Amino acid sequence: MCGRFYIPENETPEELQAIIDALERRQGQPVRRGEIRPSDSAPVLARSRSGGSQPFLMRWGYTLPDGKLVINARSETAAERPLFADGMQRRRCLIPAGHYYEWEQRGRERIRYAIRPQGQRMLWLAGLYRFEGALPVFTVLTRAPSQDVAFIHDRMPVILPGDAAAQWLAPDAEAHMLLHMASLRMEYGAM
């Protein structure tokens, strides 16, 4: 599962800083940094109408008719689920972050961890998006956890390495094949 992620406030990786700078120029206001929670707006890469990759500001969570937010989608079944099938075919996105957070439950105690691919300063979460009226919203794809973090939680976000991340946005890419290229070697630290 992925219920929080982090956009660095200081020492932001160059690639992520370029995305934030482009959005701030376009929006005319600062992009939120720090801990990103469901219903917050965050920088997201998606295909533009002209076909190129472009940063957009999107809200995290699909709104259901009862008002609840769907913040994650199981990668194993997303293509068959009516809520996500169109996104898997035509509206894939990448959510850049420094790391994501997950909580380990130990009896009554909850321990929060910051998690990211080993040796990396940033990561690309695989996502889907749609429009709710004129508002673009996204959800994060999840998968079974890597062995490194399975003790923390039984799900983790799909994190795509560089080549797979670039292909994820291509309209002719086979999404299910790219999901198998997800990063598996994670590093973590208790917060």
pLDDT of 48? 85
The residue extents of the domains of the chain are 4-190
Does residue 115 contact residue 149 with C-beta atoms inside 8 Å? yes
pLDDT of residue 78: 97
51: confidence class by pLDDT, cuts 50, 70, 90:
confident
**Mean pLDDT score of the chain, rounded to an integer?**
94
105-142 pLDDT, tens digit each: 889 999 999 999 999 999 999 999 999 999 999 999 99
| 177-190 residue pLDDT tens | 999 999 999 999 99
Identify the sign of the CA torsion 110, 117, 51, 76: negative
pLDDT tens, position by position, 16-37: 999 999 999 998 889 999 999 9
- CATH superfamily for 4-190 is SOS response associated peptidase-like (3.90.1680.10)
Sign of CA dihedral 42, 63, 2, 35: positive
pLDDT at residue 1 tops 70: no
When pLDDT is cut at 50, 70 and 90, the band that residue 80 belongs to is: very high
Compute, in degrees rounded to 10, the torsion defined by CA atoms 2, 148, 7, 128: -40
